[in-house]
Structure 1
Amino acid sequence: MTIDASLDAPWTDLWYASADGLKLHARDYGPRDAAAPPVVCLPGLARSAGDFHELASALATADGGPRRVLALDYRGRGRSDYDPNPRNYDLPVESADILALLAAAGLAGAVFVGTSRGGMHVMLLAATHKDVLAGAVLNDIGPVIEMTGLMRIKGYVGQMPTPKTYEEAAALLQGIAGPGFPAFGAADWARLAARSFIERGGALVADHDPALTASLEALAPDKPLPPLWPFFDALKDVPLMLIRGEHSDILSAQTLAAMAERRPDADVLTVAGQGHAPVLWEAEVVGRVVGFVEGIAAEVPRGPEGTIAGVEG
């Protein structure tokens, strides 16, 4: 499927309250009365709704029919309130916030696209509220999470330097993530910087609560996380797409292969030249995800569709 990479659909701000009274934010794309199943996009640990702008724009205006797309800011990220209790930056609390978003938007369910931590939420929802899942896209996450990548993330979340300009911010991000993204050019790093930093108090700061480090304190190289296979297996019978970055240090090629063996019906895609986590703004990748989502709506068979530019299927 060919997607116009210049798509720039408008969105409205959807504000809603968490159970403990925080003001939370999501971007709301597309018509609210669209017939096509809606999509909910869940970002990575320290990321925000803006990461999904190109994908949301394409889904909201796709040839197969416009659809509503919600991309949320977790508590402590983007435009959502920071939590005075950093211990609430954990999966169960955030999962409740996701369900609160569905209620606020008047949705019984959706196709969920989860990047990294967002994919962990998708697996958790499969185990606890499977009825809300019309389909699932797991972007560079699986039931076995590599400690190498987790320790790398622990080394910078909540501890980012304060660049003076967005050019410095782009160079900073390239220094942190460059080895995993050899396909990135200057424009890519600039786009990532624009979505990673905000101006606050006359300075550029990372667009998340520095106290987010509390969610990573227990991580240690000699304490691997327990495998989450039961949560992955809870996705049985849910239309599934699996995405991995070629150079990912969070989702190994071996784990992806094991996931695909358990779910031979899944649409499996490896993004060349990228690590953790693949950005979802390239036209070829966006087109592949849109095609998968439209396949759910049309109830057509899913599965690998061969190779497209920059993507190994």
Structure 2
Amino acid sequence: MTARQDRFLGLSSAGFHHVAFLDWGDPSSAGPVTICVHGLTRNSHDFDRLAAALADHGRVICPDVVGRGASDWLANSADYGYPQYLSDMTALIARLQVDAIDWIGTSMGGLIGMLLAAQPNTPIKRLVLNDIGPFIGKAALQRISDYVGLDYRFSSVEALERHLRKIHAPFGPLTDQQWAHMALYGSRKLTDGNFGLAYDPRIADNVKLGIADVDLWSIWDRIACPVLVLRGADSDILSAETAQAMTERGPRASFVAFPDIGHAPALMSDDQIDIVRSWLADHR
């Protein structure tokens, strides 16, 4: 199965921009519509294997958050933040013309999903959070800040892949094919013939401002839909304590941890995909 590439218009302080997305499955299907949203520096192709599996019984939409992948870069870097991301994803939902969606979000994508799911009359009916929760400690955010936004240059896609293997080692034991897939879609050709990462380095501008603990428990407690929380057992972004508390308050989430993985499970292995697919099927 292959995806269709499409795009829609979002609006920022500097004007309109295009947001790209991959559209998997049959648009006329009566099955569920699932939106999968990636992490801070990643892109829609992180979900290719998961989307293909879920599209057997519905439609799966995987956007490139603005500034990443095939989406436009924003003229004003100050707009790279959750108000803009929420606005764009609301426009995407409107474009799909559906009243109910499932949401799968890795890290940043999960935070976007949490913020949308907590709103009155939300269209999100089932929420899967991949290695993210309502509390993130300052030290973990500092670790991410230290490497995000550096304007790397690589002589080849293979050299870029070696960088990804180091930076994203916590994703877990991926195959050579999966690393190559991440490098292929996570790279962009530069005018000097070298390769850069497939995101605007300026997405880090807001990340690096006033790094402090993030506390969204008040948001979490407003979520009413069923929630599945996935955690890399070695994650520093989603602590074991926070994950446990997520099962005890608010929507009282289901919880699965994956051993020998940090931030964040790649959702490319059969066992991870089966857990997500089975949970969604059980909660319809």
TM range, normalised to the smaller chain?
over 0.9
For 1:216 and 1:131, the matched residues in 2 are separated by 27
Provide, for residues 77-111 of structure 1, a one-character-per-residue CA deviation record: whole Å limited to 9, x for no partner. Answer: 11111100011111011101001001112222300
Of 100, 105, 109, the match for 2:91? 100
Provide, for residues 24-61 of structure 1, a one-character-per-residue CA deviation record: whole Å limited to 9, x for no partner. Answer: 11101101121222100111111111111111100001
Of 216, 236, 252, the match for 2:239? 252
Q: Which residue of 2 aligns with 1:214?
A: 205
Of 35, 41, 44, the match for 2:39? 44
Report if the CA contact (8 A) 2:235-2:263 is conserved. Answer: yes
For 2:274 and 2:67, the matched residues in 1 are separated by 31
Q: Which residue of 2 aligns with 1:33?
A: 28
Instruction: Give the secondary-structure state (helix, strand or coil) at the position aligned to 1:35.
Output: coil
Provide, for residues 201-244 of structure 1, a one-character-per-residue CA deviation record: whole Å limited to 9, x for no partner. Answer: 22211110111121212143xx323x1011111222x0110000
Question: Are 1:192 and 2:182 matched, yes or no?
Answer: yes
Structure 1 residue runs of 5 or longer lacking an equivalent are 1-8, 298-313
Q: Which residue of 2 aligns with 1:114?
A: 105
Report if the CA contact (8 A) 1:154-1:213 is conserved. Answer: yes
Question: Are 1:234 and 2:229 matched, yes or no?
Answer: no
Provide, for residues 167-217 of structure 1, a one-character-per-residue CA deviation record: whole Å limited to 9, x for no partner. Answer: 222221233233x35634544433332332222322211110111121212
TM-score calculated relative to the size of structure 1: 0.84
Q: Which residue of 1 aligns with 2:276?
A: 289
Q: Which residue of 2 aligns with 1:12?
A: 4
| Amino acid in the other structure paired with 1:17 | L
- Deviation, 1:264, is 7.8
For 1:271 and 1:38, the matched residues in 2 are separated by 26
Relative to structure 1, the CA distance from residue 217 to residue 181 in structure 2 (aligned partners, 3 Å threshold; closer, same or farther) is closer
Structure 2 residue runs of 5 or longer lacking an equivalent are none
Report if the CA contact (8 A) 1:151-1:219 is conserved. Answer: no
Report if the CA contact (8 A) 1:102-1:109 is conserved. Answer: no
Question: Are 1:162 and 2:153 matched, yes or no?
Answer: yes
For 1:26 and 1:211, the matched residues in 2 are separated by 21
For 1:263 and 1:193, the matched residues in 2 are separated by 38
Q: Which residue of 2 aligns with 1:268?
A: 255
For 2:258 and 2:189, the matched residues in 1 are separated by 32
| Amino acid in the other structure paired with 2:20 | H
Report if the CA contact (8 A) 1:141-1:251 is conserved. Answer: yes
| Amino acid in the other structure paired with 2:17 | L
For 2:143 and 2:37, the matched residues in 1 are separated by 21
For 2:91 and 2:209, the matched residues in 1 are separated by 28
For 1:191 and 1:247, the matched residues in 2 are separated by 24
Question: Are 1:139 and 2:130 matched, yes or no?
Answer: yes
- Deviation, 1:271, is 1.6
For 1:24 and 1:184, the matched residues in 2 are separated by 28
| Amino acid in the other structure paired with 2:52 | S
Report if the CA contact (8 A) 1:108-1:132 is conserved. Answer: yes
Q: Which residue of 2 aligns with 1:306?
A: none
Report if the CA contact (8 A) 2:64-2:71 is conserved. Answer: yes
Using the TM superposition, name which of 256-265 and 210-219 deviates more: 256-265
For 2:171 and 2:75, the matched residues in 1 are separated by 35
Report if the CA contact (8 A) 1:241-1:268 is conserved. Answer: yes
Relative to structure 1, the CA distance from residue 127 to residue 199 in structure 2 (aligned partners, 3 Å threshold; closer, same or farther) is same
Q: What CA RMSD, in Å, does the superposition of the two structures yield over aligned residues?
A: 1.8
- Deviation, 1:127, is 2.5
Report if the CA contact (8 A) 2:86-2:116 is conserved. Answer: yes
Of 69, 75, 78, the match for 2:66? 75
Using the TM superposition, name which of 137-146 and 10-19 deviates more: 10-19
Relative to structure 1, the CA distance from residue 101 to residue 189 in structure 2 (aligned partners, 3 Å threshold; closer, same or farther) is same
